[in-house]
């Protein structure tokens, strides 16, 4: 397993779990990247919707960005209260569950899990787009580029949180530097009346729609993708250094300020330079070429964009496993999700997240635009539930100035609720329906799983266990040929059971004759039974035979099936042998009173 060590690092002792805490600059890099990086695609998606109504409509992107920044301010005010009320980590699941009841908590959890997956998918797709904008030759390989990003993220996260924090701090600050350079240079150049260094691709879109309220709302919905990730900080308060709540709150404010600046700046520049989306290059890439020319600064911008998008995806890699481990402890998802891996991270959650996001990237051919309609529904539902939960909490606890606090959270809940409605309606046909369908399905599964664990506990209980009686064994040794491995299995069978029989499933009549002959010499007195198989199945005749043997047995009588199993010197050689043993085990697993044992036969080369 040395390759695993090399890839993931040496195991960490359980004791070290509490040490993995983040300072503000690192935390800003880890938690705010999701929001910041969305300027890489959110502005573009707004423009893409508006371009349906022709070039003149593109100007609406500025007021729409303004509304989104306003929503951001409301959200931040509302979430600061959550952080202080839940210094141990107040994810939407916990807040909604505690204040609105288990069912709403699970709805919030389902919504968030889906949105984390989408964050990863959208961010890697957008990251691939940043790369293919700079190197158009890679356009055909954007799915492969996206999957490569996912792989790096999964490996990075399997190594552990603090180290991944450090790995990812550099790109975030690089992106902040690049974007500030872009916006300041762009605004100055435009102010001086200088022409773009490289004019954006001048494809003037044909208007196919009018500028309707619905279209503007669709553009707004597309832009709301920028707000996902705000909740990351309140979910991850535990990951901050002490005093956790205050540090988290400060980080939240810094993030909000930067995001508002980037978002307004990009929209303004896109307007000034009349950049049009959907021409095989991202809006940010076109802006970069217009402001910097295709030089060092431009490539730095694209590199930083791709990198911060990876960090953004990484936010979800911190939060998805964390939330699913909480759900696992509450027994709503498989409990393997609560296991700490070698490196003190929730490895299973990381793998599931990477797998699901990879599936989406593949299914949507690596297209950010295709994924956007699924995005943001979940997170706005979680926002609304979490803040509604906070209102309920204020009204119940009646703490200091609780009326004011309740009003702030109620404003947040109302604003995000309204946005949720707009998003769900305007994006429904393009893909939001998938998420709206999946959320109740997830909740259904959570409840089903919870019930299963309840029944398991009941049935494993030792109450009223029947008294011990000595067991009586019959051993059955299936074999396809008489060879050294079969003979060893037979010897083992004789040593554990009172009665032993060998069986052979007849596929090839010639072989049957050969085996009968050999059995006379090697069988050692054990009876050999030949089973017919007209459909060439090995498993079915054997299962039927075992059923016959078990018929009419008492509770203390058992059949043990002893299988010779080939163990090859190299793993790949194992693929060269029939996996009948595996199929037989699977088929007999469900029969009470039947135990299957493999006797390994080791090949030396």
Whose Cβ is closer to its own copies: residue 246's or residue 335's? 335
CB of 536 to its own copies, least distance (A): 6
CA–CA distance, 505 with 511 (Å, rounded to integer): 10
Residue 135 CB contacts under 8 Å (≥ 6 apart), including other chains? none
- Residue 185: which region, alpha, beta or left (left: phi > 0; alpha: psi -120 to 50)? alpha
Q: DSSP for 413-438?
A: HHHHHHHHHHHHHHTIIIIIHHHHHH
Question: Could you say whether residue 3 binds its own copies (CB under 8 A)?
Answer: no
Q: Which is nearer to its own copies, 213 or 575 (CB)?
A: 575
**Can you read off the two tokens belonging to residue 246?**
């205050």
Q: Taking the mean position of all CA atoms in its chain, how far away is CA 32?
A: 19
Interaction between residue 255 and its own copies (CB under 8 A): no
278 binding its own copies? (CB under 8 A): no
Report the 3 state secondary structure along 393-414. HHHHHCCCCHHHHHHHHHHHHH
Q: Which range touches its own copies (CB under 8 A), out of 193-201, 349-357, 379-387, 533-541?
A: 533-541
3-state secondary structure of 537: coil
What residues pair up with 501 in beta bridges, in sequence order? 476
428 contributes a contact to its own copies by CB under 8 A: no
How many other C-beta atoms are found inside a 10 Å radius of the C-beta of residue 261? 16
Q: What 3-state class would DSSP assign to 13?
A: coil
Q: Which is nearer to its own copies, 353 or 391 (CB)?
A: 353
Among 152, 254, 449, 583, binds its own copies (CB under 8 A): 449
Using the rule CB under 8 A, is 16 a contact of its own copies?
no
- Please select the residue that binds its own copies; options are 209, 491, 516, 553, rule is CB under 8 A: 491
Choose the stretch contacting its own copies; rule: CB under 8 A; options: 77-85, 270-278, 315-323, 336-344: 336-344
Q: Which of 193, 470, 525, 552 binds its own copies (CB under 8 A)?
A: 470
225 in Cβ contact with 44 (< 8 Å): no
Per rule CB under 8 A, is residue 532 in the interface with its own copies? no
Written as six digits, the tokens of 595 are 């135990």
495 in contact with its own copies (CB under 8 A): yes
Rounded to a whole number of angstroms, the CA Rg of the chain reads 31
Structure tokens at 330: 């509450």
* Among 364, 380, 442, 446, interactor with its own copies by CB under 8 A: 364
- In sequence order, the 6+-apart residues with CB closer than 8 A to the CB of 414 are none
Specify the residue, 24 or 543, whose C-beta has the smaller distance to its own copies: 543
The SS3 call for residue 90 is coil
| Least separation in angstroms between CB 53 and its own copies | 19
**What distance in Å separates the CA atoms of residue 10 and residue 16, rounded to the nearest whole number?**
13
What are the φ/ψ torsions at residue 88 (nearest 5 degrees)? -85, 10
Per CB under 8 A, 336 contacts its own copies: yes
Task: Please state, in angstroms and as integers, the Cα–Cα distance from residue 345 to each residue in 169, 259, 323, following that order.
Answer: 19, 29, 12
Return the number of the residue (138 or 180) whose C-beta is nearest its own copies: 138
The reply on whether position 480 binds its own copies by CB under 8 A is: no
Task: Tell me: does residue 543 bind its own copies (CB under 8 A).
Answer: no
- How many residues touch its own copies under the rule CB under 8 A: the total is 81
Residue that the structure tokens 């020319």 belong to: 293
By CB under 8 A, is residue 524 in contact with its own copies? Answer: yes
Q: Which is nearer to its own copies, 261 or 488 (CB)?
A: 488
Contact between 452 and its own copies by CB under 8 A: the answer reads: yes
Residue 590 near its own copies by CB under 8 A = yes
Does 539 interact with its own copies (rule: CB under 8 A)?
Answer: no
CA distance 6 to 8: 6
The strand pair at 594-602 and 499-506 is best described as unpaired
Q: d(Cα 342, Cα 158) in Å, to the nearest integer?
A: 9
Cα(365)–Cα(307) distance, rounded to whole angstroms?
21
Tokens representing residue 275 in the block = 């950049």
Taking CB under 8 A as the rule, which mask of x and - marks residues 142-181 in contact with its own copies? xxx-------------------------------------
- For the bound state, the minimum distance from the C-beta of residue 383 to its own copies, rounded and expressed in Å, comes to 28
Contacts of its own copies in 116-145 (CB under 8 A): 140-144
Q: Which residue has the tokens 């001086």?
A: 192
Site for its own copies in 191-220 (CB under 8 A): none
Q: Report, in Å, the least distance between residue 247 CB and its own copies.
A: 29
* 605 lies in the binding site for its own copies (CB under 8 A): yes
Closest CA to 90 of 228, 235, 229, 231: 235
Site residues for its own copies, 551-570, by CB under 8 A, read 558, 560, 565-568
- Shortest distance (Å) from residue 118 CB to its own copies: 15
Pairwise CA distance, residues 408 & 403, whole Å: 9
Of 460, 532, 548, 551, the one binding its own copies (CB under 8 A) is 460
- Name the residue nearer to its own copies (CB basis): 109 or 245: 109
Under rule CB under 8 A, residue 378 binds its own copies: no
* 455 makes contact with its own copies (CB under 8 A): yes
Contacting range for its own copies; rule: CB under 8 A; set: 152-160, 200-208, 251-259, 450-458 = 450-458
| Residue 476 backbone zone (phi > 0: left; psi -120 to 50: alpha; other: beta) | beta
**Interface stretch with its own copies, choices 12-20, 66-74, 83-91, 291-299 (CB under 8 A):** 12-20
Which of 173, 402, 519, 522 binds its own copies (CB under 8 A)? It is 522
Asked if 492 interacts with its own copies (CB under 8 A), we say: yes
Q: Applying CB under 8 A, which part among 65-73, 415-423, 543-551, 575-583 lies near its own copies?
A: 575-583
Pick 13 or 400: Cβ nearer its own copies: 13
CB 423 within 8 A of CB 376: yes
Which part of the chain contacts its own copies (CB under 8 A), choosing from 72-80, 264-272, 314-322, 590-598?
Answer: 590-598
């Amino acid at each position: 397993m040395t390759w695993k060590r090399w890839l993931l690092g040496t195991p960490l002792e359980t004791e070290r779990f509490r040490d993995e805490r983040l300072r503000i600059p690192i935390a800003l890099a880890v938690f705010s990247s999701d929001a910041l990086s969305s300027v890489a695609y959110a502005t573009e998606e707004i423009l893409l919707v508006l371009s349906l109504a022709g070039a003149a409509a593109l100007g609406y992107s500025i007021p729409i960005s303004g509304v989104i920044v306003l929503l951001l301010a409301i959200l931040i005010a509302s979430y600061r209260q959550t952080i202080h009320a839940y210094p141990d980590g107040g994810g939407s699941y916990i807040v909604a569950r505690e204040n609105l009841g288990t069912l709403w908590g699970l709805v919030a959890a389902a919504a968030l899990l889906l949105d984390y997956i989408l964050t990863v998918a959208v961010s890697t797709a957008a990251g691939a787009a940043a790369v293919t904008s700079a190197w158009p030759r890679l356009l055909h390989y954007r799915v492969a580029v996206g999957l490569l990003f996912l792989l790096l993220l999964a490996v990075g996260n399997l190594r552990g949180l603090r180290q991944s924090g450090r790995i990812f701090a550099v790109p975030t600050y690089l992106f902040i530097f690049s974007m500030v350079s872009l916006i300041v240079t762009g605004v100055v150049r435009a102010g001086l009346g200088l022409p773009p260094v490289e004019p954006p691709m001048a494809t003037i879109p044909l208007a196919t729609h009018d500028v309707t309220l619905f279209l503007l709302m669709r553009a707004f919905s597309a832009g709301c993708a920028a707000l996902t990730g705000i909740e990351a900080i309140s979910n991850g308060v535990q990951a901050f250094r002490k005093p956790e709540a205050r540090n988290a709150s400060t980080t939240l404010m810094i993030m909000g300020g930067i995001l508002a600046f980037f978002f307004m700046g990009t929209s303004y520049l896109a307007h000034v330079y009349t950049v049009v989306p959907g021409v095989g290059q991202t809006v940010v890439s076109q802006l970069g070429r217009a402001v910097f020319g295709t030089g060092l600064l431009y490539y730095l911008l694209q590199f930083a964009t791709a990198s911060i998008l990876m960090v953004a995806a990484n936010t979800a890699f911190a939060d998805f496993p964390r939330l699913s481990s909480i759900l696992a402890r509450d027994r709503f998802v498989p409990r393997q999700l609560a296991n700490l891996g070698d490196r003190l991270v929730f490895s299973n959650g990381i793998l599931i997240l990477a797998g699901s996001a990879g599936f989406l990237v593949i299914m949507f051919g690596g297209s950010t635009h295709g994924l956007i309609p699924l995005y943001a529904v979940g997170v706005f539902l979680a926002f609304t539930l979490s803040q509604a939960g906070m209102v309920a909490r204020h009204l119940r606890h009646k703490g200091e100035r609780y009326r004011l606090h309740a009003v702030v959270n109620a404003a947040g809940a109302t604003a995000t609720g309204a946005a949720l409605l707009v998003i769900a309606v305007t994006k429904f046909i393009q893909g939001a329906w998938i998420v709206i369908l999946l959320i109740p399905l997830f909740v259904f599964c959570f409840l089903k799983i919870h019930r299963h664990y309840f029944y398991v506990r009941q049935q494993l209980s030792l109450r009223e266990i029947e008294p011990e009686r000595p067991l009586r064994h019959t051993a059955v040794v299936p074999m396809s040929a008489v060879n050294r491995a079969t003979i060893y299995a037979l010897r083992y069978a004789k040593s554990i059971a009172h009665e032993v029989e060998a069986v052979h499933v007849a596929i090839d009549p010639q072989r049957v004759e050969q085996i009968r002959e050999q059995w006379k010499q090697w069988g050692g007195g054990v009876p050999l039974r030949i089973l017919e198989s007209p459909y060439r199945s090995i498993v079915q005749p054997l299962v039927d035979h075992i059923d016959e043997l078990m018929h009419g047995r008492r509770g203390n009588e058992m059949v043990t099936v002893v299988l010779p199993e080939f163990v090859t010197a190299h793993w790949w050689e194992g693929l060269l042998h029939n996996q009948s043993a595996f199929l037989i085990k699977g088929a007999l697993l469900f029969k009470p009173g039947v135990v299957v044992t493999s006797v390994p036969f080791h090949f030396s080369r």
